[in-house]
Every structure is written in structure tokens, then in C-alpha cells.
Amino acid sequence: MSYPIPNTLNLPANAQAGGLATSIEDVRRLREMADDLGLPFRAIGAGSNIVPEYEVAEFVAVMKNRGVKTNVKQGVPHVDVAAGENWHDLVTYCASKGLHGLENLALIPGTVGAAPIQNIGAYGVEISDFIESVTVCDEHGLKQILSQSDCGFSYRESTFKTQPELVVVSVQLALSREFNPRLDYPDVLAEFDRSVGDANALVTAITSIRQRKLPDPAIVPNVGSFFKNPVVTVSIASRLREKFKNLVAYEVQGGIKLSAAQLIDHAGWKDRPTDKVGCWQQQPLVLVNLGGATTEDVIAYATAIQQEVLALYGVQLELEPSLLS
Ligand SMILES: Cc1cc2nc3c(=O)[nH]c(=O)nc-3n(C[C@H](O)[C@H](O)[C@H](O)COP(=O)(O)OP(=O)(O)OC[C@H]3O[C@@H](n4cnc5c(N)ncnc54)[C@H](O)[C@@H]3O)c2cc1C
């Protein structure tokens, strides 16, 4: 028995077993099957942030439950969205209904249920800014509602990453009736005309920027950023300033955040593809499958980048996608 694992890197990969979950009852049923087979259980969405090995010794449940409910609590509009809904469709739906906040997160691939796992973020906004609660099905099949503060959100992190037994079945977001566009990033400011633009226009602007910069996984297989932006000490950042005229660095909680893309670019990786794996020219943080790459090819390439960036700059790059083995 084997079950093909959908993944946008287009890697050949199979779980030992798997199935589709269109409801919480399906999640419970599939988990029982996994238990009977003695396999660890894992939920996935669209496979846009995973790097599965050729054979994965797990039971994989692909979340396909659907449904979007809107309501108002104490004057604040809320949406309650099933895990299997498409994230970008939710962003466009909310913008069109006058439910604001998510616009900068347009065109991030994947499902709503996966969005809290790595606390998706783009252009100065993170999903954790809007999460009221996350409804999960635990390892005993029980439904639990976790509040925002239970989820341990930080940059590309959440408590779910260390608790894969929790399956997100739906996400509850608190949005706003007022449109207060977040235009901190120069690209966004340049693309969006604040004097005339509404929320739909901001979604269109973000979509255009992303389409120019990032490869469409349906055409050039990838999982978006392969590495997180590293956070380093003030002294490492000062040392790096001597090597880089224009070091991208900004203060965050716990240190100085650098641009992983800049380090990779500076090390020359944009011009060093193999015949199967390379860095995307417009955004070297994105590794692309140039055709026929296996998981080993991708991991070997990523490891070579990590080793060289560590040797040259003393900075350890951490992988962003989840490895499935
Ligand atoms: C071109 C491109 C651009 C991207 N840009 C961004 C970006 O700007 N910002 C950003 O943050 N990310 C970005 N990503 C990464 C990716 O889109 C997000 O991480 C997305 O949330 C993954 O959704 P998915 O449904 O594909 O999850 P999957 O890849 O299927 O799963 C990812 C992880 O979440 C777990 N998981 C999935 N669903 C559930 C569930 N229901 N319950 C419990 N665990 C679950 C999986 O086990 C796995 O560990 C990008 C990816 C691509 C390909």
C-alpha cells in the first residue's frame, strides 16, 4: 500500500498510506486507520511547504474539508474557515466582502489549515495578527479550541510545529470593517495607489508583485522560501556590515534579522545551478526543481548553500519547509 504525496516541488514521494479528510469525522477515521497500521499520522494541505522523501513512513491525511462562515461578535467581523479551503481564495473573498486585514497575504499558496502552522507572513503582515482561535482535532479524536495565545506564534513558528498530532480543522479570524492598508514595504507603496485604491486593488497589487518575483509552482516547481531569514546577534551583524555595503538588517525581538536571500546571492548561488536544482533568479531564497530533481538532489543543494553561508558569514540558515521522512 502506498499513497502519493502532493507537493509543489514536484518530487516523487509516497507515504505508506493515506487518505482525504473532508470532515472532522474523516480525520478521526483516518487516524484510527493509521493507528491500526502502526503509522505516525500527519495532516497536510496542498504540499506547498513540505519536502517529502521518496518513501515516507507515515500515514498522510490530505485536508479537503470546506466551508466559510461569517459572523459579527461585539461589532467585530469574524470568519470561521475550514482547513481545506484555499488561502488565496479566502483573501480575495474577504477583500470583496469588506472584511479587511488579510490583503498583504494574497497569493500565498496552500490551505487555510496550514496557514497557522508556520504563521504565514508577507509584506509586514502575519496571520497571527488576525487569529482569534484555531480548532483542532487532537490525538484522541477530541475537538479542542486553542486561543491565539495558546498557539505560540512567532516568525514562521507556532506550537503546532512541535505538536504534529494536532490536526487543524478550522481557523477563526477576527477582521476589520475599516480598510487600513499596510504599506510599509517600498514595493507595495510603489504598486498601490492609496488615493484611489480599495482592498481589492491592494490584493491585485500584492498579486502582481508576487507574480513578478516568484515562480508559479505549477510551472516551475518550488516551495517558496527554502530558508528562514536568520536572526543574529548585534556583534555578528556589525561584523557583516564590513563585508556588505548594503547589508539588509533590522532589529527584531531577540536580535537583528538579516535577509537570507542577500547572503545566498552574495555567496554567488544564483549563478550555480546544477542540472536539476537552482535558485530562482529574482529571489534566490526560492530553490526550484529544474526538472527531474529528487529529494536528495534538493537537500544536497540546500545543504551546500547552508555550509557555504556558515563558512563565509558565520550564519546558520534554517530550513523553512517541513521535511517528511
Ligand atoms: C511560490 C510560493 C510562495 C510562498 N510564499 C510564502 C509567503 O510569502 N509566506 C509564507 O509564510 N509562506 C509562503 N509559502 C509557503 C506556503 O505557501 C505556506 O507555508 C502554506 O501555508 C502551506 O500550505 P499548504 O496547504 O501547502 O501546507 P503543506 O505544505 O501541505 O503543509 C505544511 C506543513 O503544515 C502541516 N499541515 C498542513 N495542514 C495541516 C493541518 N490542517 N493540520 C495540521 N498540520 C497541517 C503539514 O504537516 C506540514 O508540516 C510559499 C510557497 C510557495 C510555493
21 lines ligand 1 (CB under 6 A): no
What number does the ligand 1 atom closest to the CA of 50 have?
29
**Residue matched to cell numbers 538579516:** 258
Residue-wise pLDDT for 294-317, tens only, equals 999 999 999 999 999 999 999 999
Res 257: pLDDT: 95
| Record: fold of 3-63 | 3.30.43
Q: How far is the CA of 241 from the centre of ligand 1 (A)?
A: 33
Q: How far is the CA of 148 from the centre of ligand 1 (A)?
A: 19
Catalytic one of 31, 42, 156, 210: 156
Q: Is beta strand 222-225 parallel, antiparallel or unpaired with respect to 167-174? A: unpaired
Domain edges within the chain: 3-63, 68-213, 222-324
Please tell me the residue having the least CA distance from ligand 1 atom 43: 167
Top CATH class, 222-324:
alpha beta
Distance from C-alpha of 70 to C-alpha of 60, rounded to nearest angstrom = 30
Whole-Å CA distances, 244 to 232, 237, 272, 285: 15, 10, 21, 18
177 catalytically annotated: no
49 lines ligand 1 (CB under 6 A): yes
Count of Cβ atoms closer than 10 Å to residue 35 Cβ: 13
HSE-CB of 197 using CA atoms within 13 angstroms: 21
What number does the ligand 1 atom closest to the CA of 324 have?
49
Q: How far is the CA of 48 from the centre of ligand 1 (A)?
A: 5
Res 72: pLDDT: 97
Distance from C-alpha of 16 to C-alpha of 40, rounded to nearest angstrom = 10
Q: How far is the CA of 120 from the centre of ligand 1 (A)?
A: 8
3-class SS letters over the chain: CCEECCCCCCCCCEEEEEEEECCHHHHHHHHHHHHHHCCCEEEECCCCCEEECCEEEEEEEEECCCCEEEEEECCEEEEEEECCCEHHHHHHHHHHCCCECCHHHCCCCCECCCCCCCCCEECCEEHHHCEEEEEEECCCCCEEEEEHHHHCCECCECHHHHCCCCEEEEEEEECECCCCCCCCCHHHHHHCCCCCCCHHHHHHHHHHHHHHHCCCCCCCCEEEECECCCEECHHHHHHHHHHCCCCCEEEECCEEEECHHHHHHHCCHHHCCCCCEEEECCEEEEEEECCCCCHHHHHHHHHHHHHHHHHHHCCCCCECCEEEC
Res 194: pLDDT: 87
| Record: fold of 68-213 | 3.30.465
For the chain, residues with pLDDT lower than 70 are none
Residue-wise pLDDT for 37-68, tens only, equals 999 999 999 999 999 999 999 999 999 999 99
Res 244: pLDDT: 83
